[in-house]
Amino acid sequence: MKLKESVVKGLVKLGNLLKVPEAGISPMRYEVLLRNIRILMLIITIIPLLLMATINYHQYQSRLKQEIVDPMKVLVNKTKHSFELFLAGRLSTVNFIASAYTYEELADEENLQRIFRVLRAEFEGFVDIGLIDPSGRQVSYAGPYELQGKNYAEQPWFEQVKVRGVYISDVFKGFRQFPHLVIAVQHFAGSGGRWWIVRVTIDTGKFDELIAAMGLRPDEDAFLINHEGILQTGSKFCGAVLDRCAVSVPPQSYEPNVLENTFLTGRDTIVTYAYFTRANLILMVVKPKAEVLKAWYTLKSEIVFVFGLGVIIIVAVVFRLTGTMVNRLKESDQKRELAMRQMQHSHKLSSIGRLAAGVAHEINNPLAVINEKVGLVKDLLEYRSDRPDMKDVLLRHLSVIVQAIDRCSAITHRLLGFARRMDVAIESLDVNEVIEEVLSFVEKDAAYRNVRLERHLAEDLSRITSDRGQLQQVFLNLFNNSLAAVEDGGWISIATANGGSDTIKISVQDNGCGMSEETMRHIFEPFFTTKKGEGTGLGLSITHGIVSRLGGEIQVKSAVGEGTRFTVHLPKIPPEIGEENRS
């Protein structure tokens, strides 16, 4: 369960890495993006590499070990066979002597000496030979020692020969003072139950020769031990003959087997061994691990090197690539931002162009008044210069002229105030005031079309920190949109309210034609327009862009034939400024 939970958590974390921070929310966006992409790319590239390296490591390890260990096993097996062949040869010879000669022939000292001489001439390793009668007494003896008449009845091997018929001893020094072993064979003569034992001593010097024939390197070692762990031959690292072997007796196995990780004389070694089938012996070959696994260690360091190099290359490429990529993204975002601003700028200019038509009319009206008043003054001076109240009449007309001039200048100032604000300038402002300012542009148009402009502006509306020029454009776009949607004689309701502790809410509602779900889905996309041939399709997309940049959001609710309501939520402090203040 815990594993499952942690896997799920891990996946969720990984999923979070895939989320791209929204544009405009934070200047840290690119750093976060860069970090996430890098982590993700490193994870998805290094994990397979690591897996592959691990699998290769283990596969090569087992394969190579096999390749290294198998020849060692073959060598041990071969040598074991040589030993067994040697012992079997000696045993057969003794058997032959015991059965080829009669008891009397063997009991005859001279005869035995002759047999012994032939034996020594034909076979290596025979030290002496003796005939022992069933009472355990050595009846005759040929060899370098004076052992005739010696009684072996009490010795354990004598009993063993009687039970098994054959006996091969461990290596021992005995009174001969050099390592040797004894082979004893019981022989029954005919059916009479008469029996005797032929016993030979064999010099184990031949063992050393067989070991030398293995062609071991100076840092390698081979020796025999018996089942009790006593060395049967000399060893380079494990002690002298008949010492207890430094390596403990390995588990029984007649097939050659390997003991890894045996610590011997200060180094790790690999021990290959095989039990003898007949004799109480084990052949052991000791090789230093470092030497044996040299090829493996080389390969291992190569694998590690390739993996390390791979990781370095991946990291370098990932860092370089992601760096370039995110930089490009940043640049293209900046370009897009710039293009967006330019588009916004030109859109604003075009709104001003459209406003200018209305403004021209608005200015033409007071100009016409001025024109007529001036004309009238001239007329009066020409036609009625005798009027007694001329002064008063003239003053009255002049004051109307001044009023008309004031109207003109108010209009031009308003237009200038709208056109001037092209650059972003964050300031503390009253949104109601901005709305009134923008409404003044559309008021006349609405009046001519009998469109009622309802204001529900909250008196206690909080001031916000934002960009006046951009807000003007947002409201102008929304008002124009509503004006385009309503029929003559319709209404547009503009409401402001405080929404929560840190936002304000502005809604622009109309009872115009409304729009379908389909239209609503695309309403904020650039170049989407329903005003065929008239709109650029940029108004609402620009509006959406501006509101997002100011840290707010815009929602639309609409029903065909009933009308539309746009609601703009604006933060009292834009997020980027908020972050700067906090940090």
Partner 1 sequence: MNDPKVLLVDDEKDFVCTLAERLELRDIKVDVAFNGTEAIEKIEKHQPQLVVLDLLMPGMPGLDVLRWIEKRHPDTEVIVLTGHGEQECKDEALRLGADCCLLKPISIEKLIDKMMKALTSSKPKNQ
Residues that bind partner 1 (CB under 8 A): 357, 360-365, 367-373, 375-376, 379-380, 383-384, 397, 400, 403-404, 447-450
CB of 538 to partner 1, least distance (A): 23
* Beta carbon nearer to partner 1, 216 or 400: 400
CA 422 to CA 315: how far, in whole Å?
A: 45
Q: Is the distance from CB of 440 to CB of 414 less than 8 angstroms?
A: yes
* Beta carbon nearer to partner 1, 340 or 376: 376
Question: Alpha-carbon torsion 331, 332, 333, 335, what sign?
Answer: positive
Q: Is the distance from CB of 210 to CB of 82 less than 8 angstroms?
A: yes
**Three-state SS for 531?**
coil
CB of 435 to partner 1, least distance (A): 21
* Beta carbon nearer to partner 1, 311 or 367: 367
CA 554 to CA 560: how far, in whole Å?
A: 20
CA 190 to CA 185: how far, in whole Å?
A: 16
Q: Is the distance from CB of 543 to CB of 554 less than 8 angstroms?
A: yes
CA 444 to CA 294: how far, in whole Å?
A: 96
* Beta carbon nearer to partner 1, 32 or 393: 393
Longest pairwise C-alpha distance within the chain: 192
Q: Is the distance from CB of 434 to CB of 418 less than 8 angstroms?
A: no
CA 294 to CA 154: how far, in whole Å?
A: 54
Per residue in 146-167, is it b (16+ CB within 10 Å) or e — as a string? ebeeeebeeeebbebbeeeeeb
CB of 446 to partner 1, least distance (A): 9
CB of 445 to partner 1, least distance (A): 9
* Beta carbon nearer to partner 1, 128 or 445: 445
CB of 369 to partner 1, least distance (A): 5
Question: Alpha-carbon torsion 545, 546, 550, 556, what sign?
Answer: negative
* Beta carbon nearer to partner 1, 246 or 369: 369
CB atoms near residue 201 (< 10 Å)? 23
CB of 383 to partner 1, least distance (A): 5
Q: Which residue has the tokens 């890894």?
A: 260
* Beta carbon nearer to partner 1, 403 or 498: 403
CB of 380 to partner 1, least distance (A): 8
Strand 452-456 and strand 491-499: the pairing is parallel
CB of 561 to partner 1, least distance (A): 24
* Beta carbon nearer to partner 1, 41 or 446: 446
